[in-house]
Amino acid sequence: MLVALALTVWAVYCTYDGLGPFLIYAQRPLIAGSVAGLITGNPLLGLLIGATLELAALGVYTYGGATIPDYQTGTIVGTALAASAAGGTSAQVAVGLGVGLPAAVLLSALDPVGKMVTTGLVHRADSYAADGNARGMAMIHWVSLIPWVAVRAIPTFLAALAASGGLVKDITANIPTGFVNGMTLAGSLLPAVGFALLLGMMELRKYWYLLLVGFVGFAYLHLPVLGVALVGVAMAMLFVTFKREEPAVVTTAAESPEESTVDPRLTKQDLRRAYRRYFWSSQISWNYERMQALGFAYSMEPVLRRLYPDKADYAAGLQRHMQFFNTSVLVGGPLILGSTVALEEAGTPTSAASTKVALMGPLAGIGDTLVFALYNSIIFTMGASWALQGNWLGPVFAAVMVLVPYALIRRWQFGFAYREGKRLAGHLAAGALARVAQGATVLGFVVLGGFIPSIVKVVTTLTYRQTTTVQGQAVTQAVAIQDRLDELVPFLLPVLVTAGVYLLAAKARMRPIWIIAVVMVVGVALGWLGWFAPAGPAKS
């Protein structure tokens, strides 16, 4: 019971961290599984399950509120049940994957339920805003977290409670060895799904040759994963440095952003309150209708209270910021918040509203690409690769590399935007973000080129017979097909598997859930038959 409660509390925190502060990205499978393993007393099991599902989830992100497989809950549930399974670590990992992936897909059906409840709650917040009732708005904002948490915490508790009995052990003790081998192979193939989905989101036709740089570095030059990443950083710097500068855009006096001459009316405490609210709870009231609007209005409330002592004006300000709003929380949201605060302080609420509308779309695209598709993918892939070796550096590295940079960059964005005010749009139009985005894309392609052969593990165990003549006598030898493939191109099979999955996603337009199902079925079948394996037999 205590373990079940601890896992439930952990699931609650994982959900909150993905909606509010993004401290350690606890909702990611690598982090969720690693801590779940510690809670169940099987840290290695949690590492392996979390890392495998992390790589399978690459390229699958919630854009604009889309529902995706609940990898967080699937990882925790899979780890909890696998910890009670019979057999060694390999068998338990196979059980965890066999449970975790279907659970992630099935539990995604509960995600719209939580979002629909919050959609109903936001209308109650509207009435509080009209009355100038900040306390009522705050209550609705925080209460909206409950539906998000419930649809993940309840299944976690029930599964963990079931794992505490002996039923799981009795069932798993009779699992055929062939199925365990098949699930092990399927687990090693799943990262190809994440890599393929990432490539589908990137400009592959334009930068495909950068994949070769990373591949050659790993396969032929034997660089470690970190070495490939450093090569990618160097190439990204070269691309950005030697990129041809765009001609400067000259604006007329009428077009240039106006600067406020109004004396500051906000205190540092007001600014800190607004930023802290956004940092700790930006999306906990996310809903289908207004998305991040209530969280933004809640963040602006301390500023509006100071600027509009008249209750009618104060209520109008709350209602103004209850309008639709949605953007990238990590790169974009703090910029818009700081700019909006500055414009409200300058006495130009209309400009504040128009700036929000103008910036939230472009910054959503840029922010999501930089954060989810590129930076997070690189960091969590490196962490997962270490975790698959049983190294706790993996999840620790990933957690630190999101905690520190994201905390600093968000605070900087808010301060910069507040100081610059309405000139923010001009700064963003200058092309700086475009160059950063290009550099990140270059880095992403080089790193992926090295990650694919290092993480997608598959070799063939098939052999063929070859007859040769030795001293006049015919001698038949068994030749390993894998040896011939390695002579042709090292790590050819991982590349072919990833390419095949990419074609399913990009050309056949198959949904990620079905692609995962195909990879699982093919992996189980080939592993059960013994034709393929994650690694070849040890050579004497």
Q: What is the mean pLDDT of residues 445-450?
A: 86
Lowest mean pLDDT among 39-43, 51-55, 128-132, 516-520: 516-520
Lowest mean pLDDT among 4-18, 339-353, 391-405: 339-353
Residue 296 has pLDDT above 90, yes or no: yes
Q: What is the mean pLDDT of residues 385-402?
A: 94
Lowest mean pLDDT among 28-32, 156-160, 373-377: 373-377
Q: Is 221 helix (H, G, I), strand (E, B) or coil?
A: coil
- Beta bridge partners of residue 287, listed in sequence order: 291
Q: What is the C-alpha separation between 298 and 286, in angstroms, rounded?
A: 12
- Beta bridge partners of residue 463, listed in sequence order: 480
Residue 204 has pLDDT above 60, yes or no: yes
pLDDT in tens, 514-539: 888 898 899 889 999 989 988 765 55
Dihedral angle sign, alpha carbons of residues 70, 76, 81, 87? positive
CB 407 within 8 A of CB 24: no
Tokens 């399950």 belong to which residue? 49
Q: Label residue 250 by pLDDT band (50, 70, 90).
A: very low
The pLDDT, as a whole number, for residue 177 is 80
Q: What is the C-alpha separation between 508 and 514, in angstroms, rounded?
A: 11
The pLDDT, as a whole number, for residue 465 is 81
Q: What is the C-alpha separation between 186 and 191, in angstroms, rounded?
A: 10
pTM of the predicted model, to two decimals? 0.75
The pLDDT, as a whole number, for residue 437 is 64
- Beta bridge partners of residue 533, listed in sequence order: 459
The pLDDT, as a whole number, for residue 252 is 34
Higher pLDDT, 185 or 244: 185
CB 44 within 8 A of CB 89: yes
Q: Cα 276 vs. chain centroid, distance in angstroms?
A: 23
pLDDT in tens, 2-21: 999 999 999 999 999 989 89
The pLDDT, as a whole number, for residue 63 is 53
Higher pLDDT, 39 or 328: 39
The pLDDT, as a whole number, for residue 249 is 41
